[in-house]
Amino acid sequence: MMTPLVLCLILSSMGGQITAQWQGNELEQGVVVGHETSDHCALCCASQATHAATCAQESQVLGLQNTFQQQQSLISGLQNTVEQQQSLISGLQNTVEQLQGLVSSQQVELHQTLQTLQERPRDCSDLLKEGYDSSGIYTIYPNFNDVQLNGKSIGVFCDMDTDSGGWTVFQRRQDGSEDFYRGWADYKAGFGKLDGEFWLGNDKLHQLTSQAQYEMRVDLEDFEGNSAYAQYQAFTVGSEAGHYILTVGGYNGTAGDSMVYKHNGFPFSTKDRDYDGSSGSCAQSYKGGWWYGSCHHSNLNGLYHGGSHTSYADGVNWLAWKGHYYSLKHTEMKIRPITN
């Protein structure tokens, strides 16, 4: 369909031969002659052109306004997103600061705990260094292989007199008041009284001798008032998984060596656990718990006979000093870390 603006332009170009009259959207046509009609058409066309241009501009403005509003809406949405992200970042920063504070606090606590553990005495030698120079019962804190047990205390008897002191005693016989013919569980945990006859315990021996290099000393006394000692520059006791294997060596002393041969490198045996190198049970035959080979040159956990006895090798014996038919009056076994 021909638009009014186009028709107006056509009439104007025809020099006034046709006039157009508009009523609404319908056109009534008639033929006239004269310049007035031509001028009228020219004015009409100019008006229509101006109106069309104005409409086009208004349409363009409306389009730009819509685009602007859309951009504003998008910007507003992005601003909201930025604000949300900033809020999230702020929350995360607060969380990080709280965690950093917690970690810092835990580091301080850990440092204090480690410092406390380092300052605690691991054995009687540490106690002696701290000025405790009287023999007696003390509390120590060995460095356990099991981290969960670190810091656990052990009651021990400290010999602060013999050979400059600092000895942790792990065995004593003195009057026969304690039964040493026991099973595996008792020797594992220990038994007796620290101020009397006792065995400290194989687990404790293992933990103690695992934290440093230790020397071991055995003090012996007979019923006639004589005394002797045997000292070893190497002494360790293995774990229960290996049946508390003994490592001992480097003898010196006055009692003679009755530990290295027959005992070094052997596991511990009791009447209910036989790990010796004999076809029979040395623990059952010689009535003790010990590092029996096949079978023994020492049996300090044997029966307390009270001197000479007729039964073979089942007393508190030290072969190199008194033989297999003499049960000693007093024995002490003790360890001390080797200082370079």
Q: What is the pLDDT of residues 241-274, one digit of tens each?
A: 999 999 999 999 999 999 999 999 999 999 999 9
Tell me the CATH number of domain 121-337, given options 3.90.1170.50, 3.60.15.10, 3.90.215.10, 3.30.70.141. Answer: 3.90.215.10
Torsion, Cα 24 28 34 39, to 10 degrees, reads 20
Whether the pLDDT of residue 31 is over 70: the answer is no
Place 2 in a pLDDT band, splitting at 50, 70 and 90: low
Q: What per-residue confidence (pLDDT) applies to 67?
A: 87
Average pLDDT, the chain: 86
C-alpha 43, offset from chain centre: 98
Q: Averaged over 2-31, what is the pLDDT?
A: 47
Domain boundary assignment for the chain? 4-89, 121-337
Contact 300, 276 (CB under 8 A): no
pLDDT digit string (tens) for 280-307? 999 999 999 999 999 999 999 999 999 9
The alpha carbons of the chain give a radius of gyration, in whole angstroms, of 53
Contact 214, 208 (CB under 8 A): yes
Provide, rounded to the nearest whole percent, the portion of the chain with pLDDT above 70: 80
Whether the pLDDT of residue 24 is over 70: the answer is no
- pTM of the predicted protein model: 0.68
φ/ψ bin of 53: left (φ > 0), alpha (ψ from -120 to 50), beta (otherwise): alpha
Whether the pLDDT of residue 129 is over 80: the answer is yes
User: Which contiguous run of DSSP H or E holds residue 203?
Assistant: helix 202-210
